[in-house]
Chains A and B, each alone.
Chain A
Amino acid sequence: MVATSIYGTVLFLIGATLFASTFSGEYDQGELFPGEVSTVFVPRIFLVAWMLFSVLMIVERWASKSRFHWPAVDWPSLGIACALAALIGVAMLNVGFVLALVPGVFLFAWARGYRKLGVLAATSLLLPAAVWILFIDVFELALPRSPWFEAF
């Protein structure tokens, strides 16, 4: 119940903030011709619906007799997974696909509990390399390149 209320409140506040932003001067288009609506007319409809359903979500939870079974969340693991994914994504864009994904695959699988070092090391090297060769040489699609090495 508390979790749903927190979620609903946060989502409502986000929706309300976005809704308030639609009244800023940058969206003022001046006079509109008949039938024309402003550029924020439809977004406002969506944001009102967003705010309304956020509140209704809280009301529904409070009115419900059944218990919501909040799953047993491993928050540290979730945090690590999200942080690693973000780090790998940013690294991929800055140091290149191969240089980011080789350690990235190793670290992520390790963080997820895989402990067979030999298999993990081989996978970390082979999987990014295979994807790189497939995309660059076979399909001729672009992937982020390293700023230091021409080959990858």
Chain B
Amino acid sequence: MLELLPTVLAQLASIEVFLAIIAGTLFGSLIGALPGMGTVVALIVALPFTFSMTSTAAIALLLAIYCSSVYGGSISAILINTPGTPQSAATVLDGFPMAQQGKADLALGWATVASVFGGLFSLVVLVVAAPSLAAVGLHFGQIETFALIVFALTCIAWVSRGSTIKGLLAGAMGLFLAMVGPDVMTGFSRFHFGVFELQGGFHLISVLVGLFALSEVFIRAAIPEDTDAKPLTNVGFRVAPWSEWKSRIRCLLQSSVIGSFIGVLPGTGATAATFISYAEAKRSSKRSDEFGKGEPEGIIASEAANNAVTGGALVPTLALGIPGDGGTAVMLGVLLIHGVIPGVQLLTVQPEILLGAFVTLFIANILLFFVGMLGAQAFTRLLRLPESLLMTGVLLMSLVGAFAVRGNPVDVIVAVVAGIVGALLRLVGIPMAPMVIGMALGGTFEESLRQGLMLTDGSFIGFLQQPIALGIMILTVLVIAWPVLGPQLKPPGKPRTG
């Protein structure tokens, strides 16, 4: 694949693409720094602009936003004790205490370098794992694809925030949403109930805009947050000396590995990675007593892991067409609009897409360092913007995005309705990510199941006779059964003495 590098570099060597990467890195960092906005909102706000771009520039813009928004969350986590994105929640634990000690500039330095390292590390995983996964995927037929989607949906629901049952419910609802409109096999229009506008079904982007962005706007109106300005301390940018880094290299590498491999698993986003990494760093560190009091390893563990997820999460998205979280679901939607079909065939027919993603993320991660170094003061001004104005801006761009996807007025109505429904569901703790991912995968799920049944003459037993599919289904059962079996299999703890 590396022989394609000159071709890929030639494709990326355009002003449009370069500006897209720079704009995406800046924009993603800014939006990520605003508490509650998050990676998905950042992607959705930028979404309408991608429709007029070439596919290369559009992908570059979204990838840059994806990687930089995760970093942006660390800025508000450190400066105002509020993570800008859920992925930076663990950064608060040591970032803000360090800022309170008058070392906000140092904290930002630790976070920036760790983020850049984690992001670059994950690119290695992306370039190695994606072709390997795709090579396995070449042996995938319809039955194997069906088994994989069941596994992915199970993982996604299992790690949903809050209740697993609610995650599974959201997934089932999302899968059904994909059924509205034309049957994938026969074209027969279903579940339109006589409404002409529903005969074409729902567009993923408009539902996604509603469920993620508009529901957030409504939730913010429903549950006001404390908007009192929190004190900002000693803002700047400073990188610790090498002697400080040397003793923390193991933590940096460990966290990057954790983030990269968790990112590869569908459904396990950066939020899970950051907490797993933080917990592991605390457990294995010689300075575990200092965690929570401004220990740099706490910042490193969180930030290296959450940025390392970005490269890993692209592996199932590009290689299998299975989005792992809301952000990759948005990217999947945009790729499809631009005629890029992620999946096994992508890496054989358009392998330059993967390499292009690698180069884009490489440049974006390098730019992150300069964004952090030069933008610290600018971020503090941004954090003072009133939430009411921010949410109004999100509303405006969401309506624009919903309309611009195909110029269909129905998409605007769908987005608003999805936003209202999404807000009501979120009030009782039903997560949106499984619903969106369910909708993204529903069509493929149905097609693979029905074609698989044709191959086996209608027998489900035939599905278990395919070795790869059987292996994936066993894995799925293990994921479901692990919370019950896991404690039974652990060796008994040592009895307490004294």
Contact = CB atoms under 8 A, between A and B. Distances in A.
Do these two chains really belong together in a complex? yes
Given A50-B172, A143-B400, A43 B457 contact: no
B176 A18 contact: yes
A74 interface: yes
A11 B169 CA distance: 9
A129 to B, nearest CB: 12
A7 B404 contact: no
Given A53-B168, A53-B169, A108-B395, A43 B454 contact: no
**Size bracket, chain B contacts:** 35 or more
A85 interface: yes
A92 B395 CA distance: 12
Chain B contact residues: over half helix, strand or loop, or mixed? helix
Contact of A89 (B193, B399, B430, B454): B399
B191 A37 contact: no
A114 B497 CA distance: 62
Contact of B400 (A36, A105, A131): A131
Interface string A87-109: 01110110001000100110011
Contact of A114 (B175, B218, B386, B449): B386
Contact of B191 (A21, A35, A97, A131): A21
A52 to B, nearest CB: 8
Contacts of A72: 223
Given A53-B172, A141-B52, A42 B446 contact: yes
B252 to A, nearest CB: 37
Contacts of B108: none
Nearest to A94: B409
B165 interface: yes
Contact of A43 (B176, B214, B391, B413): B176
Contacts of B163: 57, 60
B172 A35 contact: no
Contact of B172 (A36, A49, A113): A49
Interface in A17-65: 18, 21, 27, 34-37, 39-43, 46-47, 49-50, 53-54, 56-57, 60
A46 B442 contact: yes
Q: At the interface, is chain A mostly helix, strand, loop or mixed?
A: helix
Q: Which range holds the interface residue count of chain A? A: 35 or more
A35 to B, nearest CB: 4
B179 interface: yes
A3 interface: yes
B403 to A, nearest CB: 7
Contacts of A39: 183, 185-186, 188, 190
Nearest to A114: B388
Interface of B: 48-49, 51-52, 163, 165-166, 168-169, 172-173, 175-176, 179, 183, 185-186, 188, 190-191, 193, 214, 217-218, 221-224, 386-389, 391-393, 395-397, 399-400, 403-404, 407, 409, 412-413, 415-416, 419-420, 423, 425, 427-430, 442, 445-446, 449-450, 453-458
16 contacts: A3-B428, A35-B457, A36-B453, A36-B458, A42-B449, A46-B442, A57-B165, A75-B222, A81-B217, A85-B395, A89-B412, A101-B399, A104-B396, A109-B392, A131-B396, A141-B404
